Amino acid sequence: MNISKEYREWIEEHFGKDIILKENRIISYMTYEVAESEKIVIPSKMYPLIGTGEIEIFTTYNTKKLEDNQIKKIYDETEFKYGNCYNNSNRLLKNLMNAGINDISAYVGWFYNCTDDRPIHHCAIVYKGIYMLDMSSDSDIEELKSMRANSKDEIREILAKRYVDRLNNMKASERSCFGDMMPGSLFIAKRLEPENGAKFFFEELMKIYPNHPSYRNVISPNGATKTQLMIQNSLKRSSQGN
């Protein structure tokens, strides 16, 4: 994990005790809705990283908003399916390569969302090492932070409605991460083909840890959480209404 002294200091300043940097790993503590604080180490046996090259840590510090009309057009026209970051990234990667765009790599690893402190395994595309192309992310962190609800189901319903509205009314480059990451989010990853990442995390890791924390909220056979099912149902109703 080769990061500069300045970047290390920036991470320590912005994430404080939430993210602890070690020489070849990061440590965080899960405190949200758990009886006791849970230590998370990446990479580790439970939170592994596979792939090639150095371990990379992507944040707002080392990613930039992309101004490229050709890539933007491809990004907006690439088929997107909710809750399917590996296939979404694979389609985007192939579309970019078919257009003759080089210096792009798929990264697979663990993503810390600004709205939660448990990482999820994730896949995204990085262009020229500094532009994060992540169709599954959200571009409006301030709106997410401002949301209030009286129950978990209520916030899920709000999130589902918001997501469907944005999906139906905004281009992918407007509603998701087109170059620069969200403030408060962190992606620790290695270069890896999306299909290899999906196979490892959905098959091999689940065999070792069938009750892995990343799958605790999964309630359907296809791996969807309750929130994701609400969004999928909202998308179905929306398409039927059209």
Comparing 5-14, 115-124, 192-201, the range with the smallest average pLDDT is 115-124
More confident residue, 63 or 34: 63
User: How far apart (Å, rounded) are the C-alpha atoms in residues 174 and 39?
Assistant: 35
What is the band of 45 on the pLDDT scale with cuts at 50, 70, 90?
A: very high
More confident residue, 208 or 237: 208
What is the band of 104 on the pLDDT scale with cuts at 50, 70, 90?
A: very high
pLDDT at 149 over 60: no
Listed as own residue / partner, the contacts of 196-199 with beta carbons closer than 8 Å and 24 or more positions apart are 196/50, 196/108, 197/50, 197/51, 197/86, 197/106, 197/108, 197/121, 197/123, 198/86, 198/87, 198/123
- What whole-number percentage of the chain has pLDDT above 90? 52
Give the pLDDT score at 212. 85
Q: Mean pLDDT, the chain, as a whole number?
A: 84
pLDDT at 152 over 80: no
More confident residue, 2 or 149: 2
110: which residues sit within 8 A by CB, 6+ positions away? Answer: 42, 47, 49, 119, 120, 121, 122, 187, 188, 189
Give the pLDDT score at 30. 75
DSSP per-residue codes, 17-67 = GGSEE-SS-EEEEE-TT-SS-EEEEESSSSS---SEEEEEEE-SSS-----
pTM of the model: 0.86
Q: How far is CA 82 from CA 140, 158, 191, in A?
A: 17, 16, 23
Segment 139-166 mean pLDDT: 66
pLDDT digits (tens, 9 = 90+) for 54-72: 999 999 999 999 999 999 9
pLDDT at 100 over 90: yes
Helix or strand or coil: residue 124?
strand
- What whole-number percentage of the chain has pLDDT above 70? 78
More confident residue, 242 or 31: 31
Give the pLDDT score at 219. 47
pLDDT digits (tens, 9 = 90+) for 171-224: 999 989 999 998 888 999 999 999 999 999 989 998 999 888 876 655 444 455
